[in-house]
Structure 1
């Protein structure tokens, strides 16, 4: 008992020992925003969720869905009992996700602000009681679901000071203990706690102590990522303008005041590294529960080539953040709130499931970003060569372009490609090639580049390989006569013996021929 008490005392002050996150690697996440959390009910802010929509999201390549959910507005305010019809509805959507083998995160979203807008320096008994009641009911309803389901305690808690963070952590203690007490799979389910304001800097500075959990290594931290002028700002202000273009390679040569001046690649590296250092390196997984950038299609000054540049830079933002986050062990989940027109982040038509933004979806699920207007294709990478015989080599590479017309593959016998140069033209999307007709035991050099009507990419790195030595087949060996001669031991006659017989017969014929000639001459 003494050792158990000591463990319980230590858990709150130690970051959890290393553990692996219960989300896919890499994570391609999507939010069902403005749907189950809508006030006063689902459908108030857009179409209700459908199985067809969930299927479309999974089929597009996403493997994780975050479900923002309102609970307080669906509960009796005297007893805090959640409407069973509403609970069944949320379960139905979760079941649709499970049918597509998706990972699912359920949270308590804004929900009228009963929690998120009322965090002070002291614990409010009513808020604490609701946390206890709601999470006990939610956890009980989903106790039989496996570890593809995660619970998140809040969404974006308004937490402005370290003292308020201490209060929020107390509410999280209630959330965690309520879930764990229901047993079943909830005893080991992954639970997600949100940092102050889900702000990366505040989370890095203030979250030095995780909430208490009797189950080790099952807590995750959530932050959100919205560099404002690029991602959310929808009108110019006296203090600054909207950014239309993101990424050093996507800046406009003419609309200079619309190029991002902060919040680009280096900023993402710095922000994400903070989370990796503070939490992931210590075994505490981190999710980027919301992130995205609005599509600006309704601005009079953003048309033609510059509109194409904006849309391309948005796909570059999507791919860059997805890749950078996953590389550091952070789990990115794109915010899609539905809606149509300009200044939205929607990816799918909520009524039909049709992809509205296929280029961005491709970038968010492991594909390539669109290049800037007029730019040539991106260079291939990872060229590797393997000798498969004395006259054949196998080549593979990564296609990093989305706009190539094909590839040019160079082969030479020196590294400067001035000796024995042979160039082969390959189709678009090619990522492998077998080269034959080569000389044995010879070193060859290869490089590949993408080509298009807009120009050629840089070459990939050079790969060199030496073909295998030629195989020399020796003549059949002649066995000496076996002991005793004549084929020996009653076995089959040896080749030597048969050859000797043939030679003897030949000699006899020659001797007979000479004798006949002598007789004829006399």
Structure 2
């Protein structure tokens, strides 16, 4: 038996038993039995709406009816006999005003009113730090914007390296590098940033020297007329999506993004903010629980609200949020598009490294991919060309077709020059994924953590001079 059916049956039995008991007691005491009752008399809903139930008790088998003239309220049962119930469904209140309705339950000549109240939606009420300013901010929708962004490239972990910008083996980002990326044919650059470089750690105050350094790198790209996606990256993994950490993370996230957004507020629409990166509970790569994705969705909303409140051009800036762990399946299944006071300016970001054993695991025996593979033992049975197309089609259906542009913020496959013939399969994977992403309307942004001279990397450029180190891969990425 279904749980809801069992619940309804038990509910009716309890009501019926109670009515019998009351009738017997009333007879013994000489009191008059209750003939017609409706509970509860008042029901309160929040702005997002929801479901509830009213219980109807009419002695005997007398008829009852429910009258409802409210278009935002639907009732499952509007007529019945004796003891019964009716389910209520209340739609979301998209206004800021509380609304009230009264439904009337009638039996014979008697009526019983039930009051339905619903709070107004205050999520889009915003007080700007300064007045909104649309100067030099495009009127393109986010979907139109992605068509203009072309193909992108990641600066990798340079501004996210633990211990300083050069700690992970790359030189400091310089103008020659960004000029070389533009000259190679890339129109978008993603700049991952670790912002937890604080001058006042207790208040999450970002060190001005650090924020100015990030601005210097952003300016290299802006000077090349490139789009820039600037995010809050892993940053030591402080953004844990649990109920225990939710308040702390949202508070820290809001304070940090308010500073970042204020500092970069005067930049035009070519600068895009992205709120986070691959949010997940550390080392838990499975399907997220309701707790995990609910909390992560709250991070996205906090980011949007924090940026918009700074006003100026940020009131119209394109903003990117992410699905859980930037996994396409989890994004489609669990991501909630945040509320935004500015329509058509939101982007959804996902990443793609499937099949993992082929793209990222250098010691794995999976070294071939796609229809050209010749050795079944060296090839995954899933994540082939059809899988790639299906995943990107899902992003198109669930987001692009609903007016939310999609960024493929990271993708790539490592070199494995120690495996004979691997480079041909790698190049084919890169070309296929890049082309498929563009065909379905996603912006492909290649992940490049530098060190192009090393095996098992994805580096494309000499980080000192900006010269292309692997032209065959660049050619496979670009249209």
What TM-score, normalized to structure 2?
0.68
Q: What is the rounded CA distance, in whole Å, between the counterparts of 1:174 and 1:155 in structure 2?
A: 15
* C-alpha distance after superposition, 1:108-159 (max 9, x if no partner): 00001111xx211355332222111110111011111000010011010005
Which residue of 2 is the match for residue 497 of structure 1? none
Whether 1:82 and 2:206 are equivalent positions in the alignment is: yes
Q: What is the rounded CA distance, in whole Å, between the counterparts of 2:200 and 2:274 in structure 1?
A: 22
Q: What is the rounded CA distance, in whole Å, between the counterparts of 1:314 and 1:282 in structure 2?
A: 33
* C-alpha distance after superposition, 1:57-88 (max 9, x if no partner): 00000000000000013453112111111111
Which residue of 1 is the match for residue 62 of structure 2? none
The higher-RCO structure (CA 8 Å, 6+ apart) is 2
Alignment of 1:454-469 (within 5 A): none
Residue among 236, 240, 248 paired with 1:126: 248
Which residue of 2 is the match for residue 347 of structure 1? 460
Q: What is the rounded CA distance, in whole Å, between the counterparts of 2:182 and 2:470 in structure 1?
A: 15
Whether 1:69 and 2:182 are equivalent positions in the alignment is: no
Which residue of 2 is the match for residue 135 of structure 1? 257
Structure 2's unaligned 5+ residue stretches are: 1-92, 99-119, 125-139, 282-287
Q: What is the rounded CA distance, in whole Å, between the counterparts of 1:244 and 1:75 in structure 2?
A: 47
Q: Secondary structure at the match of 1:136?
A: helix
Residue among 228, 235, 259 paired with 2:363: 235
Q: What is the rounded CA distance, in whole Å, between the counterparts of 2:196 and 2:242 in structure 1?
A: 20
RMSD: 2.2
Cα gap change, 1:245 to 1:145, in 2 (>3 Å) = same
Q: Secondary structure at the match of 1:56?
A: helix
Residue among 281, 293, 297 paired with 1:169: 297
Alignment of 1:7-22 (within 5 A): 9=121, 20-22=143-145
Structure index of larger Rg: 1
Alignment of 1:20-419 (within 5 A): 20-25=143-148, 27-45=150-168, 46-115=170-239, 118-122=240-244, 124-158=246-280, 160-207=288-335, 209-227=336-354, 228-236=356-364, 242-249=365-372, 251-252=373-374, 255-297=375-417, 299=418, 302-303=419-420, 306=421, 310-339=422-451, 340-366=453-479
Q: What is the rounded CA distance, in whole Å, between the counterparts of 2:376 and 2:337 in structure 1?
A: 44
Q: What is the rounded CA distance, in whole Å, between the counterparts of 1:316 and 1:84 in structure 2?
A: 44
Query: Deviation of residue 100 (structure 1)?
Result: 0.7
Q: What is the rounded CA distance, in whole Å, between the counterparts of 2:188 and 2:296 in structure 1?
A: 26
Cα gap change, 1:114 to 1:75, in 2 (>3 Å) = farther
Structure 1's unaligned 5+ residue stretches are: 237-241, 367-522
> 1:32, 1:65 within 8 Å by CA — same for their partners in 2?
yes
Query: Deviation of residue 327 (structure 1)?
Result: 1.1
Q: What is the rounded CA distance, in whole Å, between the counterparts of 1:211 and 1:164 in structure 2?
A: 16
> 1:296, 1:342 within 8 Å by CA — same for their partners in 2?
yes
> 1:280, 1:329 within 8 Å by CA — same for their partners in 2?
yes
Q: What is the rounded CA distance, in whole Å, between the counterparts of 2:97 and 2:363 in structure 1?
A: 55
Which residue of 2 is the match for residue 5 of structure 1? 96
Q: What is the rounded CA distance, in whole Å, between the counterparts of 2:149 and 2:428 in structure 1?
A: 18
Q: What is the rounded CA distance, in whole Å, between the counterparts of 1:341 and 1:104 in structure 2?
A: 27
Q: Secondary structure at the match of 1:30?
A: strand
Q: What is the rounded CA distance, in whole Å, between the counterparts of 1:263 and 1:211 in structure 2?
A: 30
Q: Secondary structure at the match of 2:172?
A: coil
* C-alpha distance after superposition, 1:349-376 (max 9, x if no partner): 112222111101011111xxxxxxxxxx
> 2:449, 2:459 within 8 Å by CA — same for their partners in 1?
yes
Q: Secondary structure at the match of 1:5?
A: coil
Matched positions, count: 342
* C-alpha distance after superposition, 1:453-499 (max 9, x if no partner): xxxxxxxxxxxxxxxxxxxxxxxxxxxxxxxxxxxxxxxxxxxxxxx
Q: What is the rounded CA distance, in whole Å, between the counterparts of 2:300 and 2:359 in structure 1?
A: 29
Q: What is the rounded CA distance, in whole Å, between the counterparts of 1:3 and 1:210 in structure 2?
A: 15
Q: What is the rounded CA distance, in whole Å, between the counterparts of 1:110 and 1:135 in structure 2?
A: 15
